[in-house]
């Protein structure tokens, strides 16, 4: 057994060396990410072929692969809170942005909420067209256990009223929130940074010298943190290789095949919503193919790592490569972590609601049910921030609001990781789309930068 594990580790090292060699030959960042994704899938499938997904060889090998994969994700998570804080604060210190803060925030949040409502409608349509119903899924021990966990989580949320959940967003101790200790830490850090930014604007009017000194400190901190981000992003191809290998190698292919219709319906809905992102860009006079090419690295990472928060540094960097001003990119990326997630808070809970409704004698195709569901999904995408975010919490909020049994949300646990990959990528795409469209509306978008065939940040990666 040890010999097999050592062999797998040796192969991984060789593949990592290939990516490093490509870097020394100055192969583009995008090509290296694409190569890492392909190698990870291929290596994962080979491990599936030679071993059982739960075999000791796979488990132990994946544990070593995690040094690269999970290590990379932890580095990204390490920088998320400092990046959110300094990004929001620096947006206020840039003269070009300060006069439009309210308009920019309104546009970004509005686009995120509206696209989430559209995503809900697509989820409803997909579940209906594919004739998905919860009764079609057999409940094994894993599904029952997951249902119990969701019910327990619902009990925790149910204990808090809406006003209490809103109060949870307010940062009583911003230093605690900077550690990410609370479920609401991200949105709390945004609020704290915004308060400091508003205070800066007041000081700027009355004490311009002190304000200028403060702005220099903020800009210095921002430059240092962005340099740390660049150092971490250089590891992206290696992280994606390790994460994708582990994901494919440990996936339960039998369960995926058994629930193929549900997986297929989910990805059809996700792809349609992604196409709508592209159509929105096209309607704004922007080339959607350019967006796809430049967004590929961050979407690939989000897909493999299943973390919108971890993708934030690459999200902001990509928006800047697409001509979005730094301030707007910071706002769109930060807000997108907890508001209007098209995949997790839009498509997923809407599909679940349509699937579960027939189990309690409700016709999910009535106009009143559909309209109510879309509205609740859009509104609850704010509520997700209040309870920690994620598809599970979004599902709990929507199902409970529709008076549907929340425990049935655990039915898709066996294919949850596979579906979550696409959901996370769509969340990030929605965040970047909101930033690009907001920049276009405010006249802030650098069209030459957007259309530029090169990725300017690749020189640092």
Q: What is the mean pLDDT of the chain?
A: 82
Is residue 11 classed exposed, middle or buried when 0-12, 13-18 and 19+ CB atoms within 10 A define those classes? middle
Q: Which of 285, 252, 304, 209 is nearest to 443 (CA)?
A: 285
In tens, the pLDDT along 174-195 reads 888 887 777 667 778 888 888 8
- CA–CA gap between residue 11 and residue 31 (Å, rounded): 21
In tens, the pLDDT along 9-60 reads 999 999 999 999 999 988 887 788 889 988 998 999 898 888 876 788 888 8
Indicate the range of 15-29, 105-119, 171-185, 303-317 predicted with least confidence: 171-185
Residue 96 CA, distance from chain mean position: 28
In tens, the pLDDT along 392-443 reads 777 777 887 788 877 666 666 667 778 888 998 999 999 999 999 999 998 8
Length of the chain measured in residues: 461
Q: In terms of CATH, what superfamily is 2-460?
A: Sodium:dicarboxylate symporter (1.10.3860.10)
Q: Judge whether 426 and 274 are in contact, CB under 8 Å.
A: yes
Q: Judge whether 267 and 123 are in contact, CB under 8 Å.
A: no
Residue 459's pLDDT band, with cuts at 50, 70 and 90, is very low
Give residue 387's pLDDT.
Answer: 45
Can you give the residue ranges of every domain in the chain?
Answer: 2-460
Give residue 429's pLDDT.
Answer: 95
Torsion of CA 118, 121, 122, 128, to 10 degrees: 180
Q: Judge whether 324 and 412 are in contact, CB under 8 Å.
A: no
Give residue 290's pLDDT.
Answer: 93
Residue 386's pLDDT band, with cuts at 50, 70 and 90, is very low
Give residue 439's pLDDT.
Answer: 92
Residue 204's pLDDT band, with cuts at 50, 70 and 90, is confident
Give residue 97's pLDDT.
Answer: 54
Q: What is the mean pLDDT of residues 197-217?
A: 89
- CA–CA gap between residue 424 and residue 390 (Å, rounded): 9
Residue 73's pLDDT band, with cuts at 50, 70 and 90, is confident
Q: What is the mean pLDDT of residues 261-267?
A: 89
Torsion of CA 109, 195, 197, 192, to 10 degrees: -80
Torsion of CA 281, 287, 288, 290, to 10 degrees: -130
Residue 143 has pLDDT above 50, yes or no: no
Percentage of the chain beyond pLDDT 70 is 84
Torsion of CA 63, 67, 70, 71, to 10 degrees: 160
**Entry pTM:** 0.79
């Amino acid at each position: 057994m040890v010999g097999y594990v050592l062999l797998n580790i040796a192969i991984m090292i060789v593949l990592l060396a290939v990516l490093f060699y490509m870097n020394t030959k100055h192969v583009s960042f995008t090509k290296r990410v694409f190569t890492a994704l392909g190698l990870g899938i291929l290596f994962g499938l080979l491990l599936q072929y030679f071993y059982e997904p739960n075999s000791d060889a796979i488990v132990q090998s994946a544990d070593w692969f995690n040094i690269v994969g999970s290590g990379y994700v932890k580095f990204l998570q390490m920088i998320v809170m400092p990046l959110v804080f300094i990004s929001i604060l620096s947006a206020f210190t840039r003269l070009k942005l300060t006069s439009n803060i309210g308009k920019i925030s309104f546009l970004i949040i509005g686009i995120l909420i509206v696209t989430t409502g559209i995503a809900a409608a697509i989820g409803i349509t997909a579940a209906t067209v594919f004739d998905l119903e919860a009764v079609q899924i057999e409940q094994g021990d894993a599904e029952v256990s997951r249902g119990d966990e969701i019910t327990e989580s619902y009990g925790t949320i149910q204990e808090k009223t809406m006003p209490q959940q809103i109060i949870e967003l307010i940062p009583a101790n911003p230093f605690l929130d900077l550690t990410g200790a609370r479920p609401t830490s991200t949105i709390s850090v945004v609020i704290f940074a915004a308060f400091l930014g508003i205070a800066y604007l007041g000081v700027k009017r009355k004490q311009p010298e002190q304000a200028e000194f403060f702005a220099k400190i903020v800009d210095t901190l921002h430059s240092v943190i962005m340099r740390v981000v660049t150092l971490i992003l250089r590891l992206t191809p290696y992280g994606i290789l390790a994460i994708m290998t582990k994901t494919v190698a440990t996936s339960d292919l039998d369960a995926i095949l058994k629930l193929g219709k549900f997986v297929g319906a989910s990805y059809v809905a996700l792809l349609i919503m992604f196409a709508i992102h592209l159509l929105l860009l096209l309607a704004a006079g922007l080339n959607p193919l350019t967006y796809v090419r430049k967004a590929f690295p961050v979407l690939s990472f989000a897909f493999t790592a299943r973390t919108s928060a971890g993708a934030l540094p690459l999200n902001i960097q990509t928006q800047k490569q697409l001509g979005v001003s730094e301030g707007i990119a910071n706002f769109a990326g930060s807000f997108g972590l907890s508001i209007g997630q098209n995949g997790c808070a839009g498509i997923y809970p809407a599909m679940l609601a349509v699937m579960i409704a027939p189990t309690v004698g409700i016709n999910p195709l009535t106009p009143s049910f559909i309209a109510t569901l879309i509205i609740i999904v859009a509104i609850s995408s704010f509520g997700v921030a209040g309870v920690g975010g994620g598809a599970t919490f979004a599902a709990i909020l929507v199902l409970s609001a529709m008076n549907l049994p929340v425990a049935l949300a655990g039915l898709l646990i066996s294919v949850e990781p596979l579906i979550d990959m696409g959901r996370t990528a769509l969340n990030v795409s929605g965040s970047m789309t909101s930033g690009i469209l907001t920049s276009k509306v405010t006249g802030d978008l650098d069209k030459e930068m957007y259309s530029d065939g090169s990725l300017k940040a690749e020189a640092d990666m």
